[in-house]
Chains A and B, each alone.
Chain A
Amino acid sequence: MSSLLDVLGATIVGSLVLLMIFTSLFNMQAISYNTQLQISLSKMSEDLITGRKIGNIDHLGLENILSKVGAGVPESTDPIIEANLNSFKFLGQTNLTSSISTYYFVQEDQTGNGYPLYVYQNDMVNPISGPFWMSDPLEISYYDTNNNLIVSPNTNHDLIRSIEVNLTFFYNTHQPDIDKRLLRHSIVFWKYFKNLYL
């Protein structure tokens, strides 16, 4: 009888230890997986903002595209076509020999996947970049020469000298249950339009 109790006791203790090992392993795997996703998410965000070279092709980043605002545009023409909270359309020259392009940087309507971010160049149907799925709507703030926030940027194009762009990208985490939380990456960057200062 005493031996039977020993066996039962050992089984219970052993089971508890095994349960602890498996739970720990699962938790560590989930944390590591989420950490890895967070790295991928920030890398994707940085590729989008600063650009990326795949093979011999340079994919321009948002910072590069936004640096074209007003480039090569005659003084008589307003280089900014549209300046809203979640869209920005402007004119600019890609390089010294090219013609002036129309760029459109926009967050379109929310779908089940989130808020899609697109970048268009001349062709306003087929984007050159996107969709990039965001968990929150795109937020663009416009500033004047004194770095004061412009309350109605779309009616004050001539005041705009710089913008602040707030992007929040996301992934689904490893946890598939009701405790599922989104893995988010929020980043803010600023762009001063040097061509508008000249």
Chain B
Amino acid sequence: MNLQMLLVLLALALFSTMLLNTYNIVFNQSSMVYDNLLFLQGQKIADRYFQKIESELLGDPPITNFSVVHSIYSNLNETITVNNVIYDVKINTAYCDSLGNTPSADTLFQKLDIRINCLSTSLDTLYIGTLNSPFSKVFFNRGF
């Protein structure tokens, strides 16, 4: 009798472990989906900076010029709050050659790198663009 009861309890314990594991997998998948939504919003934020710089370099004369962009964005840290999520934006820029290789003594091109961090759904830091793989764009000096 005692042995039977122990076996039933053991079976329950084993089954519960399996169930917990399955739940965990489902929740992980769900978290991945929600983290991707944050990632998507991060991409839109990075695109906003690229659009802003591109637009401000247009016109004759433009609103800003190439060297000013370099000094503003050479080491910029900003935070943007979107839908109650705080995105920590880090921007670096460096003069480069036409292929985006940095550093370069030539001031005809500059490469702008954007990295964004925010809190993921599991409260870990979600890296949207990293030091080795940032969102990058090469801008051309139109002479202003």
Interface residues of A (CB under 8 A from B): 13, 17, 20-21, 24, 27-28, 31-32, 34-35, 38-39, 42, 46, 145, 147, 161-162, 185-194, 197-198
A24 touches B33 (CB 8 A): no
Contacting pair A17 B15 (CB below 8 A) = yes
B29 / chain A contacts, CB cutoff of 8 Å? 32, 35
Tell me the smallest distance from the CB of B49 to a CB of chain A, in Å.
9
Q: Which label, helix, strand, loop or mixed, suits the secondary structure of the A interface? A: helix
B56 near A190 with CB under 8 A, answer no
Given A31-B26, A46-B40, are A39 and B51 also a contact pair (CB < 8 Å)?
no
B52 touches A187 (CB 8 A): no
A20–B19 CB distance below 8 A: yes
For the complex formed, measure the closest distance between the CB of B143 and the CB atoms of chain A, giving whole angstroms: 16
Is B8 on the interface with A (CB-CB < 8 A)? yes
Q: Is the CB of B33 within 8 A of A35?
A: yes
Given contacts A188-B82, A188-B83, A192-B54, 11 further A-B contacts (CB under 8 A): A13-B8, A24-B23, A31-B30, A32-B29, A34-B30, A42-B36, A190-B44, A192-B55, A197-B62, A197-B63, A198-B60
- Residues 55-70 of chain B: 1 if any A CB is under 8 Å from the residue's CB, otherwise 0? 1101110110000000
Q: Determine which of A13, A27, A42, A192 lies in contact with B51 in the assembled complex, contact meaning CB atoms within 8 Å.
A: A192
Closest chain A residue, CB of each to CB of B9: A13
Number of interface residues of B (CB under 8 A): 31
Q: CB distance A190 to B47 under 8 Å?
A: yes
Task: Give the distance in Å from the alpha carbon of A65 to the alpha carbon of B12 in the complex.
Answer: 59
Which residue on chain B has the smallest CB distance to residue A187? B41
B137 interface residue (CB < 8 Å to A): no
Cα A46 to Cα B59 with chains together (Å): 31
B34 at the interface (CB under 8 A from A): yes
Taking a contact as CB atoms under 8 Å apart, the answer to whether A32 and B26 are in contact is yes
Is B76 located at the chain interface by the 8 A CB criterion? no
A-B contacts, 8 of them at CB < 8 A, read A24-B22, A28-B22, A28-B26, A31-B30, A42-B40, A190-B52, A197-B56, A198-B60
Give Cα distance in the complex from A34 to B27, angstroms: 11
Docked Cα-Cα span, A107 to B8, in Å, equals: 60
For the complex, is B48 an interface residue (Cβ under 8 Å from A)? Answer: yes
- Choose one: A31, A39, A188, A194; the contact of B44 (CB below 8 Å): A188
Given the complex of chains A and B, what is the CA–CA distance between A28 and B22 in angstroms?
8
Neighbouring B residues of A46 by C-beta, 8 Å: 40
Question: When chains A and B are docked, how far (Å) is the Cα of A32 from the Cα of B29?
Answer: 8
Instruction: Output the least CB separation between B128 and chain A (Å).
Output: 14
A21 vs B33: C-alpha distance in the bound complex, in angstroms?
26
A197 x B58 contact (CB < 8 A): yes
* Cβ-defined contact, B59 with A197, below 8 A: yes
Per the bound structure, the CA–CA distance linking A185 and B62 in Å amounts to: 37
Partner of B40, one of A20, A35, A187, A191: A187
Of all chain A residues, the one with the shortest Cβ separation from B80 is A188
Q: Which residue of B lies closest to A194 (CB)?
A: B55
By a CB distance below 8 angstroms, the chain A residues around B86 are none
Q: What 0/1 readout, one digit per residue, does chain B (1-22) give for beta carbons within 8 Å of chain A?
A: 0000000100010010001001
